[in-house]
Structure 1
Amino acid sequence: MAKEAENNIWPLPRFFFEVDFGTGAAVPFQEVSGLDTEPQRMEYRHGNNPVFSHIKMPGMIKYGCVTLKKGIFKSDHQFWDWFKKVKMNTIERKTLIIKLCDGNGIPTMTWTLDKAFPVKITSSDLKSDADEIAVEAIEFYHEGLTVSNQ
């Protein structure tokens, strides 16, 4: 018990994560961003309110656009194929599961994006004198974000 409590005092590093597109297989990504949510602000004022200001209330929940970045591999065009379906107005929505892992590779925190679909793919800049890998970014809209701890 003391050993378990000792391991819980340090925050988790953010570099050990995996992304699953509902298939159970992890797809390697370099970066994940946009896991945010916020209520839209509503302002209201009663007609007979003696205070000359608005009342602020939470409104509908707004989700951020999630961006995933990964290296470009030869013959890997699964996201382009998925994006083509959006262009043809046959949107294929998937559940994206992003897992933050501990040092042993065991998921400890999970973000689940419901009904996600790609809205933008940005290819890498090409530069003849660069010594970096080619990275593409894929942006997703989704209809819900659930966070859970294991």
Structure 2
Amino acid sequence: MDIPGDLYQAVHGGPPLAFRFGVFFLVGGVVPNPLDIRFSKVSGLNSRIDTQAVNEGGQNLFTHHLPTHVQYDNLVLERGMAIGSILVAEFNATMSLFKFNPCNVLVTLFDESGIPVSGWLFMTAYPVKWTVSELSAESNQVVIETMELAYQRMQAIRL
């Protein structure tokens, strides 16, 4: 059930902030590795309806736009490079052995008390891109790995 914005503010003291989130890979009911739920950035939380333009015979003033299907962007996850990550082993198996093990991924937004207020469930997600930031002897920045996943469907969850 969606909570109207003014009611949410009255109960929680303001709109949710974007930095309180977790990413949970739901694989066979196993508790996720704590290294694999912490990401510094999540993007690709969007969907759109593609349409097809149809001209009506004899009507030149407008065009009908008929829905054709739902289109999703890939889910993109960024974090500092993690050592001992089971998720990295899964990505490595996909990229090196072309072995896919799709799973559901839940991105959860929390309030200041750590209570979930919203979420996005990505169904049948699998890796399609994996990048590591540039290594440079002239920099002392954290190595960032970016993981990109395609998925079958996204479901927004409002608590």
Name the TM-score class by shorter chain. Answer: 0.7 to 0.9
Aligned to 1:29: 39
State TM-score, norm by structure 1.
0.86
Aligned to 2:50: 40
User: Counterpart amino acid of 2:42?
Assistant: V
1:53-92, CA deviations, whole angstroms, 9 ceiling, x for partnerless residues?
4211222000001100011123336324334236544321
Aligned to 1:65: 74
**Is the counterpart of residue 84 in structure 1 residue 93 in structure 2?**
yes
Contact 1:122 1:136 in 2 (8 A): yes
**Is the counterpart of residue 19 in structure 1 residue 28 in structure 2?**
no
1:8-62, CA deviations, whole angstroms, 9 ceiling, x for partnerless residues?
451111001001001443511110000110011211123x332254211222000
Aligned to 2:146: 137
State TM-score, norm by structure 2.
0.81
Task: Decide which of 141, 149, 156 is 1:147's aligned counterpart.
Answer: 156
What secondary structure, in the 3-state scheme, does the structure 1 residue paired with 2:125 have?
A: strand
Distance change (3 Å), C-alpha of 1:45 and 1:73: same
- 2: CA distance, partners of 1:13 / 1:90: 37
Structure 2's unaligned 5+ residue stretches are 1-6
Structure 1's unaligned 5+ residue stretches are none
Contact 2:12 2:111 in 1 (8 A): no
Contact 2:120 2:157 in 1 (8 A): yes
Which 10-residue stretch deviates more, 68-77 or 103-112? 68-77
- 2: CA distance, partners of 1:14 / 1:78: 23
- 2: CA distance, partners of 1:58 / 1:76: 41
- Total equivalences in the alignment: 147
Contact 1:86 1:92 in 2 (8 A): no
Aligned to 2:3: none
**Is the counterpart of residue 7 in structure 1 residue 11 in structure 2?**
yes
Aligned to 1:98: 107
